[in-house]
């Protein structure tokens, strides 16, 4: 595992969540944190406890539900208010009470912001920084300081910006992060500034780059070239306005181009999987042309390229795609290779026994289903059921004879959904009807009612999340739809996927798999 000499700091759950159209539930944030930890980042910024109930709940649940192997959870917040004491400030108290071992403080480093936004003096701002950093250090927290608008402030008044860095360093900050908050910097300016600040202060520096000029990754690497040893990024570059420095691009460049290991050994190969899984969780289609991890990052179309690649793939590829968990494609369709299927099966605990024919069937089936719109990156439960079906031991706790769902709009404006399911459960034909808040909820209730009499543990399985994505908007209301359904049983969560032109039909597919997988988790033997 990398030592403390270099920090990979992820802020997807805070800064990344500020992207337009992204709304994360607490369950989403916990799932994303787990994926980031699997990838091997050193720090995961979970949000601003005390600023909103969702972030406060996240830290409460994280202490019970997250078992982080590589990362430390980080709480974000501001320095104390002007004229107060850090020990008495309720916002600082929320940071302490979050239980996070690391705190990232944001502070003004541009004197114009200090005087106009904070409406205080430059001297008081320095006192706020020193007092808050020192207080949290005394409380046993590791502290990073984000210098908001640093590059703009440094250009306007370099002396004051340097005073901010010195104040934080003298108070014990573990790293002072220079933030390109407006995203207007270019690499030469970033490199020059970081080098000057490092020489003038001797403080450990980090960088936080926004992507408004399209240079966030380049600016981050320029800062590293100049001596920064702490990089702040977001998964897939999510963030406010046009986004932040992309975690996967920055880390891949550092490991593959700089030869600098910044993740635990072997974790870089998880980049493509984690990128796609997080994209599904935030309900944004994965960026197909994203560097390193996009599905088209190593795709080849031109005949000249294809001829050369047959001789040596390196002739038209800047690196081996397997190093980031990706694969070379000749622009046919999405497909999984044998190795990826075998490794994933091992991860899921499904023994394929080295059966090449079995692996081949799985590869072919995954290819066919992905062509139809399925994605298994964030739906491990569906993939495990597929593997078990091809192996011949997928449990069939019930068989659907038929189902239907209707929604009635009443004169008073109320809508009522009703579903009827006809199942065969352990040789018995069962018919149940239930009402619900929408047709999917009604189907869920009807299915449960039909099955719970035999499989009593089903009562402990609860719906946690439901996501809809339109895959082909050109079809209008008849477009192909992908459904992701997440269930939990108190010990963990699992996600299944369904696809179809009918949103209810796709939902049933995902729902039936989710219930089946849940019963399998409870230890029920196959009938």
**Tens-place pLDDT, residues 98-129:** 999 999 999 999 999 999 999 999 999 999 99
Q: In angstroms, rounded to a whole number, what is the distance separating the alpha carbons of residues 231 and 8?
A: 5
Mean pLDDT on 326-330: 71
The CA dihedral of 200, 203, 207, 213, to the nearest 10 degrees, is -10
- Quote the pTM value: 0.67
- Class of domain 7-282 as given by CATH: alpha beta
| CATH code, residues 398-454 | 3.30.160
The CA dihedral of 156, 159, 165, 170, to the nearest 10 degrees, is -160
Q: In angstroms, rounded to a whole number, what is the distance separating the alpha carbons of residues 153 and 160?
A: 8
Backbone torsion region of residue 440, taken as left when φ is above 0, otherwise alpha when ψ lies between -120 and 50, otherwise beta: alpha
Q: Quick one: pLDDT band at residue 327, thresholds 50, 70, 90?
A: confident
Considering only residues 361 and 301, tell me which one the structure prediction assigns the higher pLDDT.
361
Bridge-partner residues for 96, per DSSP?
none
Give the position of tokens 């570059």.
Answer: 237
Considering only residues 372 and 100, tell me which one the structure prediction assigns the higher pLDDT.
100
Percent of the chain with pLDDT over 70: 93
Beta strands 175-180 and 142-148, pairing class = parallel
DSSP state of 288: T
Please check the confidence at residue 251 and state whether its pLDDT lies above 60.
yes
Q: In angstroms, rounded to a whole number, what is the distance separating the alpha carbons of residues 430 and 423?
A: 5
Please check the confidence at residue 371 and state whether its pLDDT lies above 60.
yes
Backbone torsion region of residue 269, taken as left when φ is above 0, otherwise alpha when ψ lies between -120 and 50, otherwise beta: alpha
Alpha helix (H) residue ranges in 140-287: 150-156, 158-171, 187-201, 216-225, 247-252, 271-282
Q: Going edge to edge, which strands form the sheet with 462-470?
A: 462-470, 481-488, 493-500
Please check the confidence at residue 227 and state whether its pLDDT lies above 90.
yes
**Tens-place pLDDT, residues 337-355:** 566 677 678 878 899 988 8
Considering only residues 32 and 353, tell me which one the structure prediction assigns the higher pLDDT.
32
Mean pLDDT on 439-445: 90
pLDDT, position 1 = 44
pLDDT, position 478 = 56
Domain positions in the chain: 7-282, 398-454
Q: In angstroms, rounded to a whole number, what is the distance separating the alpha carbons of residues 280 and 269?
A: 19
Q: In angstroms, rounded to a whole number, what is the distance separating the alpha carbons of residues 420 and 508?
A: 12
Helices 90-97 and 122-138 cross at an angle (nearest 10°) of 30
pLDDT, position 340 = 63
Phi, psi of 274 (to 5 degrees): -65, -40
pLDDT, position 377 = 73
């Amino acid at each position: 595992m990398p030592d403390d000499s270099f920090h990979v700091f992820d802020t997807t759950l805070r800064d990344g969540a500020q992207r337009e159209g992204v709304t994360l539930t607490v369950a989403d944030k916990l799932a994303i944190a787990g994926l980031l930890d699997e990838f091997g980042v050193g720090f995961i910024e979970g949000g601003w406890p005390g600023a909103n109930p969702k972030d406060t709940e996240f830290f409460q649940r994280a202490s019970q539900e997250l078992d982080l192997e590589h990362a430390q959870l980080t709480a974000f917040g501001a320095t104390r208010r002007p004229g107060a004491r850090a020990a008495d400030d309720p916002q600082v108290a929320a940071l302490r009470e979050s239980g996070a071992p690391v705190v990232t403080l944001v502070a003004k480093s541009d004197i114009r912001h200090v005087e106009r936004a904070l409406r205080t003096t430059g001297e008081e701002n320095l006192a706020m920084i020193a007092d808050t950093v020192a207080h949290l250090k005394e409380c046993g927290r590791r502290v990073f300081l984000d210098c908001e608008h640093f590059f703009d402030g440094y250009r306007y008044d370099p002396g004051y910006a340097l005073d901010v860095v010195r104040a934080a360093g003298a108070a014990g900050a573990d790293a002072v992060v220079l933030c390109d908050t407006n995203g207007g910097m270019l690499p030469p300016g970033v490199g020059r500034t970081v080098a000057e600040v490092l020489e003038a202060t001797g403080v450990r520096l980090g960088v936080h780059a926004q992507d408004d000029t399209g240079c966030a990754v380049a600016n981050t690497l320029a800062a590293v070239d100049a001596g920064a040893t702490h990089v702040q990024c977001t998964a897939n570059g999510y963030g406010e306005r046009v986004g932040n420095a992309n975690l996967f691009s920055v880390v891949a460049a550092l490991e593959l181009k700089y030869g600098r290991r910044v993740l635990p050994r072997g974790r870089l190969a998880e980049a493509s999987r984690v990128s796609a899984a997080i994209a599904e969780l935030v309900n944004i289609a994965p960026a197909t042309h994203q560097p390193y991890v996009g599905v088209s990052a190593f795709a080849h179309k031109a005949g000249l390229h294809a001829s050369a690649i047959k001789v040596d793939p390196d002739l038209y590829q800047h690196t081996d795609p397997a190093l980031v968990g990706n694969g070379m494609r000749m622009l046919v369709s999405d497909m999984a290779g044998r190795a990826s299927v075998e490794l994933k099966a091992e991860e899921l605990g499904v023994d394929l026994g080295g059966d090449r024919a079995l692996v081949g069937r799985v590869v072919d089936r995954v290819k066919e289903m992905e062509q139809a719109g399925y994605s298994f990156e964030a739906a491990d439960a569906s993939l495990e059921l597929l593997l078990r079906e091809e192996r011949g031991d997928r449990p069939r706790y019930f068989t659907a004879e038929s189902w239907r769902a209707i929604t009635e709009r009443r004169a008073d404006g109320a809508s009522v959904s009703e579903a009827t399911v006809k199942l065969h459960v352990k040789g018995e034909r069962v018919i149940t009807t239930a009402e619900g808040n929408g047709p999917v909820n009604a189907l869920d209730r009807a299915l449960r009612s039909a099955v719970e009499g035999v499989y009593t543990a089903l009562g402990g399985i609860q719906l946690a999340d439901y996501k809809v994505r339109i895959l082909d908007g050109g079809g209008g209301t008849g477009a192909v739809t992908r459904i992701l359904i997440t269930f939990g049983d108190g010990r963990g969560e699992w996600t299944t996927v369904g696809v179809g032109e009918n949103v209810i039909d796709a939902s049933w597919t995902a729902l039936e798999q989710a219930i089946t997988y849940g019963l399998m988790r409870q230890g029920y033997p196959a009938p």
